[in-house]
Chains A and B, each alone.
Chain A
Amino acid sequence: MASLQACIAVARAPPLSHSPCLALLARALRPIRCTLRPQVRFLSGDMAMDWSFNWTAQGVSFRRGEMRFRVSLKEEASVDAKDQRVGAKAIPKLMLVSDLDNTMVDHLDKSHTGLLRFNNLWAAEYAHNSLLVFSTGRSLEKYTQLRTQFPLLTPALCIFSVGTEICYGANMEPDQDWVNYLNEGWNQAVVLEEVKRLNLRLQDDSEIRPHKVSCQIDKKDATEIIDTLSKRLKDRGLNVKLIFSHGIDLDVLPKGAGKGEALAFLLQKMRREGSAPQETLVCGDSGNDIELFEVEGVNGVIVGGAMEELRQWYDINGKHSSRLHLAKERCASGIVEAIGELSLGPHLSPFDRMNSNGIQPAVKASEKGQLTPSGVAQREVVEFNTFFTKWMNGEVPNNPESFQRLTSVIASGSTMVYPWGVEQSLLQSVTSAQSKHGLTKDKKIRVWIDCIQEQELANGVLMVTWHSWQMSEGTERKGYFATAILREKEGTPNGVEWLRVHETPRKS
C-alpha cells in the first residue's frame, strides 16, 4: 500500500455486515469441507477449465465425459439452487455453438475487430451464466494452431473434426460415450482402404482422426465420387456418411457423427442431467454446419459472407423460421447481430457502448431488485478494462467527466499489484492515466478477457478472476492472470467498487 494513511485506513475499514443467512448455511454444511465459499476456481493451461479441482469436495468425483459447467455449484452445495446467495445457476442461460473458420474467425480481418467485439460481449454478459462451445471441422492440432493466430476465447467444450470428437477440459478429455456410439458401423482402416482404391487425395495426417477420414476432391467429380464411395463402404458393412464442403473437402464419418449429431447428443445428455440450456444458438457459414441448424429447438445464425451451399439451404428451408437469422455482418459480428435480432440476451457490449460518442450505460432493468445479482462484478471488470484501453487508444472522448467512470469506482485505499512487480495505490495509478489519453492511438492496444469467473466471498464481497490478453500491431500477444476483489457499493455503474487487483504475467 502506497501510504501510511492508506495502510492504516484499510486495516481499520469497517467490517462488512455479518450475514446470518450465510453463517447458518455454513454451519449446516459443516461436515462438508469448505464447499461454499470462498471457492476459487482457476483455469490453468490453455484450454483452461477447472474440472479437476473442486469436484471432489463432497466425494463427488469427476466422471469422465460427464458434463460440468464452470460456475455450476449444483454438485457441491446441497442447498436450494434458487437461493441466489449461493451463486451461479446450474442451468446455462444460453449455449452458443459456433463454427470457427469464417464463422467465429474472420480470416480477412487482420485487426480481429469482430472477434474482439464478440469476446467483449461474452465476457461482460454471458461468461457467468452461459456456455461457449466451438464446433469445428478442424482437428485438435489445427485448432491449437488457430488459437495462436486469433484471439479466441476458451470454450467450455470443443467439438472437433466435424463432430467426431467431443472434448472437455484442459486435458481435452474425450467423451467416452460418444466414442462408443461412433464405433458402431465404423472401421477407419476399411475407410482408408476404399479411399485409396479410388485414388483420392488424403488431407494432412492431422485431419485423419479415429472417426474421420478426410480427402480433397474436385468439385466436378464430387457427385460421382460420393456415390461410388458410399456404395463401396456400404458393401463392406459400414454405416457412414459423406460430407462435401467448401467446394473441395470430403469428410467420411460414422453415420451417427456430424456436428448436428454431436450437438443433439450433448443436448440430450444435458437434459438427462437437468442442465439443458434455456436457449441454444448455433452459428455457421458452410455446408458442414447445416446439420447444426437442423437440430431441434435451436436458434441459428448464418453469418455474413457465408458459403453458397448454406445460403441455398437457408433460402429453401430456413427463411420462414423465426429462430433463424441471416446476418448482414461478417463472422463474429454477425453472431452479435443475431443475439440481438433473436432476442437471446444483451447484445451491446461495453466495447460497443463506449465510442467516440461517449459512454452509454448498460441496460440493467432485469437485475433490479435482486440481491447480489451474479455477473455484475464481471461486467464491471470488462467495462473498466474496456474503458481504460479505449482511453489510452483515444477511442473515447477526452473529457474528465467520462474519466470519472474509472475513478469513481475505486475504493479509497485500494491497491494493485502490477505484473511488472510494482504495487501502487489503484486510485493514484488510474488517475495518472488521465493525462495519457490517446497515448497508444497510433499503435492501438487490443485487449480481451477470457475465463472470467466471479465468486461471492462474503456478504457483498466478490472475487473475480480472469485471464487477460493484450496485443498490439507488430507485437506478440501477452497474457496475464488476474484476481480482483470488489465490494458492493451503491451509486456505481455496476453496483460494485474495486478493492484490490493483482496481476501476474502468464508464462509464455
Chain B
Amino acid sequence: MRLKTNFTTARVSCECIDQFVFLQVEHGDHDNKSLLRFGALWQAHFSHDSLLVYSTGRSPKMFADLRGEVPLLTPAIAVLSCGTEIFYGDSMTEDDAWVDNINKGWSRAAVEEVANEMNLKYQCDSEQRPHKVSFHVRKEEAKYVIPSLREKLLAKGLDIKLIYSGGLDLDVLPRSAGKGQALRYLLNKLKAEGCVPQQTLVCGDSGNDQELFSVDNVFGVIVANAQDELLQWHANQVGDKSHIFVSTEKCAAGIIEAMKHFNLQPNVSPRDCNVPLSVHCRRIPKADPGAVAREVVEYLLLTEQWLRGDIDASEAAFRRLKFSLDKNSNRICARGIIDNPHEEIESLRNQHGSQKGKNFRIWADRVRSIKLSDDSWLVRFDKWERSDAEWTCVLTSALLQANEEFPNGICWKLIHETWLQGYEGSAPPRM
C-alpha cells in the first residue's frame, strides 16, 4: 500500500509506545494528566504537519482496548505487535507490503513446534499474531531458555529474533520485523515520496524499544519509568549517545521533557500555561491551519477548566468563551436540535466548578482543517468528554473564520455535531 503524502516535510515524527500508559495507570495517574498534556500539545501544534506514530508490542485487540481506557490520540500510523503489523489512518488499513517483507525466513508453525517441544508457556490468544509468537518466561529461566530457543529455531532454518521485555514477555518475530525495522521501513517510504520528516523522535521504556534508538538520525527519549533492561542497554552503549535523553519524568511527560531538551519547538503544552484570553493588542493573527488547531484545543481546554473550576470565574474567561462564537452562529447539536451557541453559552456561567472532583476532562482528537479561503476553514475534530466512568464523544465539523475583532482572532460560525457511534451521551451537553 502506497503511503501517499502530499507535503514535503513533516516537522516532527514522534514515536510513542504504550507501555508507559499501562504503568501510568498503575502509578495512580488515574487522571491521565500527562497523556492529556501531550495530547493537547500535539493537537495544537503538530497535528497539522507532523505524524504521530505508535509503536507497541500490543496486538490490534489490546491496542483497541487501551484506546477505550485512556485518552490516547489517534495516530497517523500504528505499528503493532512489536513491529510486525503496520496500520495506516483512521480506518487502520494494513500494509501488505510490510507483511511480504517479513515473511522471508519465517514459519509460525515451525516456531510453535519448537516451543511445544520446550514446553513454553504461551501468552493469551489475542497476543498471538501471524508474525509474532509470544510466551511468558520467568526472569530466572530466561537465561537459559532464550539461548536454547534461539539455537533450535536457527537450526530449523528460520531467520528470527527474540525480544525479552518486562522481565516476563518473550516475543519471537522474523528478524526483518521489529520496531526499529518498521521505523526504518516507514522512513524509507516517506523518503521515497519526497517527505522526510525534519526530525524524528522516538520514545521507549522497555526491551523491545532498543531497536528504535539505533535507527539513523533519530532523537530518542527513555522515560523515567523505563524497564531496567532498557536502562541497562543504554548504560552499556559506547560512543556518542547524545541523541538519547533519559528523562526524569514518567510516561508522556517524559516525552515533553525530551522535546524541551532537544529544543524541538513548540514544546509547551497548552495545558501547562494559561489559555490566552485575548489577542487584542497583539499583531493581527496569521491565519494558518496551526492557528485553527490551536483555537480548537484552547477553546475546549478553557471550557474544561471553567467546568472544573481550575480557573477563576472571571468575566474575561467567560467572554473568551462566549465572544469567540459569532453572534449569529449556529450549532446543530448531537442531540438533534439547532441552537445559537453564542446565546446558549449563558447557561455555562452557573456551571463554573460544577465538575470539580469528578475527574472531568475534555480533549480533542483528529483535529484536521481544510482551508476554504484565505481566512476561513472547515475543521473537523472528535470532541471527547470524560467524567468519572462515562466517556462520550462527538464528531464535530466547524466553520472558523479569521477575524481580528474576536478574542483569539478567530471566530466560530458554525458547529455541527453527531455522537460517535458507541459513545453517545445522555445528559444535555454543556457546550
Contact residues of A with B, CB < 8 Å?
1-13, 15-16, 18-19, 23, 33-34, 37-44, 53-54, 56-57, 415, 417-423, 457-459, 461, 463, 481, 483, 485, 499-500, 502-508
In the complex, the answer to whether B373 meets A459 with C-beta atoms within 8 Å is yes
In the complex, the answer to whether B370 meets A10 with C-beta atoms within 8 Å is yes
Partner of B336, one of A3, A13, A504: A504
Q: With an 8 A cutoff between CB atoms, is B405 at the interface? A: yes
Bound-complex Cα distance A418 to B420 (A): 9
Q: Which of B394-420 contact A (CB under 8 A)?
A: 395, 397, 399, 401, 403, 405, 411, 413-414, 416-420
Please, which residues of chain B bring their CB within 8 A of the CB of A40? Answer: 329-330, 399, 413-414
Please, which residues of chain A bring their CB within 8 A of the CB of B376? Answer: 37-38, 457-458
Give the interface segment out of B3-11, B16-24, B110-118: B3-11
Please, which residues of chain A bring their CB within 8 A of the CB of B76? Answer: 4, 7
In the complex, the answer to whether B88 meets A4 with C-beta atoms within 8 Å is yes
Whole-angstrom distance from the CB of B97 to the nearest CB of chain A?
Answer: 14
Are A57 and B420 also in contact (CB < 8 A) when A4-B3, A12-B6 are?
A: no
Bound-complex Cα distance A427 to B59 (A): 30
In the complex, the answer to whether A38 meets B88 with C-beta atoms within 8 Å is no
Bound-complex Cα distance A11 to B381 (A): 13
Please, which residues of chain B bring their CB within 8 A of the CB of A463? Answer: 399, 414
Q: Which of B170-199 contact A (CB under 8 A)?
A: none
In the complex, the answer to whether B5 meets A13 with C-beta atoms within 8 Å is no
Bound-complex Cα distance A417 to B90 (A): 13
Q: With an 8 A cutoff between CB atoms, is B169 at the interface? A: no
Please, which residues of chain B bring their CB within 8 A of the CB of A16? Answer: 371-373
Which A-chain residue is minimally distant from B91 (CB atoms)? A2
In the complex, the answer to whether B336 meets A53 with C-beta atoms within 8 Å is no
Please, which residues of chain B bring their CB within 8 A of the CB of A459? Answer: 373
Bound-complex Cα distance A6 to B7 (A): 12
Q: With an 8 A cutoff between CB atoms, is B147 at the interface? A: no
In the complex, the answer to whether B330 meets A34 with C-beta atoms within 8 Å is no
Please, which residues of chain B bring their CB within 8 A of the CB of A5? Answer: 2-5, 88-89
Whole-angstrom distance from the CB of B410 to the nearest CB of chain A?
Answer: 12
Of the listed residues B339, B369, B370, the one surrounded by the most CB atoms of chain A closer than 10 A to its CB is B370
Q: 26 A-B contacts, Cβ less than 8 Å apart?
A: A1-B366, A1-B380, A3-B88, A3-B89, A3-B93, A5-B2, A5-B4, A11-B289, A16-B371, A34-B328, A42-B338, A44-B338, A53-B328, A53-B340, A57-B327, A415-B380, A417-B416, A419-B418, A420-B421, A422-B421, A481-B336, A481-B416, A483-B416, A505-B336, A505-B418, A507-B335
Whole-angstrom distance from the CB of A255 to the nearest CB of chain B?
Answer: 41
Q: How many A-B residue pairs have CB under 8 A?
A: 172
Which B-chain residue is minimally distant from A48 (CB atoms)? B338
Are A13 and B416 also in contact (CB < 8 A) when A502-B397, A504-B332, A506-B336 are?
A: no
Bound-complex Cα distance A263 to B332 (A): 35
Whole-angstrom distance from the CB of A56 to the nearest CB of chain B?
Answer: 7
Given A34-B403, A457-B376, A481-B332, 10 more A-B residue pairs with CB atoms under 8 Å apart are A18-B373, A39-B413, A41-B328, A44-B339, A53-B328, A56-B328, A485-B378, A504-B332, A504-B336, A507-B337
Please, which residues of chain A bring their CB within 8 A of the CB of B329? Answer: 40
Bound-complex Cα distance A57 to B327 (A): 8
Please, which residues of chain B bring their CB within 8 A of the CB of A504? Answer: 332-334, 336, 416-418
Partner of B418, one of A56, A485, A503: A503
Please, which residues of chain B bring their CB within 8 A of the CB of A10? Answer: 368, 370
Please, which residues of chain B bring their CB within 8 A of the CB of A53? Answer: 328, 330, 340
Whole-angstrom distance from the CB of B391 to the nearest CB of chain A?
Answer: 14
Q: How many residues of B contact A (CB 8 A)?
A: 59
Which A-chain residue is minimally distant from B423 (CB atoms)? A421
In the complex, the answer to whether B336 meets A507 with C-beta atoms within 8 Å is yes
Please, which residues of chain A bring their CB within 8 A of the CB of B330? Answer: 40-42, 53
Whole-angstrom distance from the CB of B414 to the nearest CB of chain A?
Answer: 5
Whole-angstrom distance from the CB of A290 to the nearest CB of chain B?
Answer: 39
Are A499 and B370 also in contact (CB < 8 A) when A4-B76, A39-B328, A457-B399 are?
A: yes
Q: With an 8 A cutoff between CB atoms, is B240 at the interface? A: no
Q: Which of B304-357 contact A (CB under 8 A)?
A: 326-330, 332-340
Which A-chain residue is minimally distant from B49 (CB atoms)? A11
Q: With an 8 A cutoff between CB atoms, is B131 at the interface? A: no
Q: With an 8 A cutoff between CB atoms, is B68 at the interface? A: no
In the complex, the answer to whether A423 meets B90 with C-beta atoms within 8 Å is yes
In the complex, the answer to whether A34 meets B326 with C-beta atoms within 8 Å is yes
Contact flags B130-172 to A (C-beta < 8 A → 1, else 0)? 0000000000000000000000000000000000000000000
Q: With an 8 A cutoff between CB atoms, is B429 at the interface? A: no
Please, which residues of chain A bring their CB within 8 A of the CB of B6? Answer: 8-9, 12
Please, which residues of chain B bring their CB within 8 A of the CB of A507? Answer: 335-337
Please, which residues of chain B bring their CB within 8 A of the CB of A37? Answer: 376
Partner of A15, one of B374, B399, B416, B419: B374
Q: With an 8 A cutoff between CB atoms, is B40 at the interface? A: no
Please, which residues of chain A bring their CB within 8 A of the CB of B5? Answer: 4-5, 8-9
Q: With an 8 A cutoff between CB atoms, is B77 at the interface? A: yes
Please, which residues of chain A bring their CB within 8 A of the CB of B89? Answer: 1-7
In the complex, the answer to whether A34 meets B414 with C-beta atoms within 8 Å is no
In the complex, the answer to whether B4 meets A9 with C-beta atoms within 8 Å is yes
The 3 A-B residue pairs with the shortest CB-CB distance, nearest first, are: A458-B373, A507-B336, A421-B421
Bound-complex Cα distance A507 to B418 (A): 12
Bound-complex Cα distance A423 to B413 (A): 22
In the complex, the answer to whether A2 meets B90 with C-beta atoms within 8 Å is yes
Which B-chain residue is minimally distant from A413 (CB atoms)? B370
Are A43 and B77 also in contact (CB < 8 A) when A4-B3, A15-B374, A483-B414 are?
A: no
In the complex, the answer to whether B7 meets A12 with C-beta atoms within 8 Å is yes
Please, which residues of chain B bring their CB within 8 A of the CB of A43? Answer: 338
Please, which residues of chain B bring their CB within 8 A of the CB of A13? Answer: 370-371
Please, which residues of chain B bring their CB within 8 A of the CB of A34? Answer: 326-328, 401, 403, 411, 413
Please, which residues of chain B bring their CB within 8 A of the CB of A485? Answer: 370, 372, 378
In the complex, the answer to whether B418 meets A421 with C-beta atoms within 8 Å is yes
In the complex, the answer to whether B88 meets A44 with C-beta atoms within 8 Å is no
Bound-complex Cα distance A508 to B338 (A): 13
Which A-chain residue is minimally distant from B335 (CB atoms)? A507
Of the listed residues B77, B330, B368, B401, the one surrounded by the most CB atoms of chain A closer than 10 A to its CB is B330
Which B-chain residue is minimally distant from A42 (CB atoms)? B330
Which A-chain residue is minimally distant from B338 (CB atoms)? A44
Bound-complex Cα distance A42 to B378 (A): 17
Bound-complex Cα distance A107 to B424 (A): 39
Please, which residues of chain A bring their CB within 8 A of the CB of B28? Answer: none
Bound-complex Cα distance A503 to B395 (A): 10
Whole-angstrom distance from the CB of A35 to the nearest CB of chain B?
Answer: 9
Whole-angstrom distance from the CB of A506 to the nearest CB of chain B?
Answer: 5
Bound-complex Cα distance A6 to B90 (A): 10
Please, which residues of chain A bring their CB within 8 A of the CB of B421? Answer: 420-422
Whole-angstrom distance from the CB of A175 to the nearest CB of chain B?
Answer: 24
In the complex, the answer to whether B395 meets A421 with C-beta atoms within 8 Å is yes
Please, which residues of chain B bring their CB within 8 A of the CB of A499? Answer: 370, 378
Bound-complex Cα distance A16 to B376 (A): 11
In the complex, the answer to whether B374 meets A18 with C-beta atoms within 8 Å is yes
Bound-complex Cα distance A39 to B376 (A): 12
Q: With an 8 A cutoff between CB atoms, is B58 at the interface? A: no
In the complex, the answer to whether A54 meets B328 with C-beta atoms within 8 Å is yes
In the complex, the answer to whether A1 meets B90 with C-beta atoms within 8 Å is yes
Whole-angstrom distance from the CB of A343 to the nearest CB of chain B?
Answer: 37
In the complex, the answer to whether B395 meets A423 with C-beta atoms within 8 Å is yes
Q: With an 8 A cutoff between CB atoms, is B239 at the interface? A: no
Bound-complex Cα distance A68 to B49 (A): 45
Which A-chain residue is minimally distant from B88 (CB atoms)? A4
In the complex, the answer to whether B369 meets A44 with C-beta atoms within 8 Å is no
Whole-angstrom distance from the CB of B89 to the nearest CB of chain A?
Answer: 4
Partner of B90, one of A3, A11, A42: A3
In the complex, the answer to whether B416 meets A502 with C-beta atoms within 8 Å is yes
Q: With an 8 A cutoff between CB atoms, is B383 at the interface? A: no
Partner of B332, one of A2, A42, A457: A42
Bound-complex Cα distance A410 to B56 (A): 36
Bound-complex Cα distance A220 to B337 (A): 51
Which B-chain residue is minimally distant from A13 (CB atoms)? B370
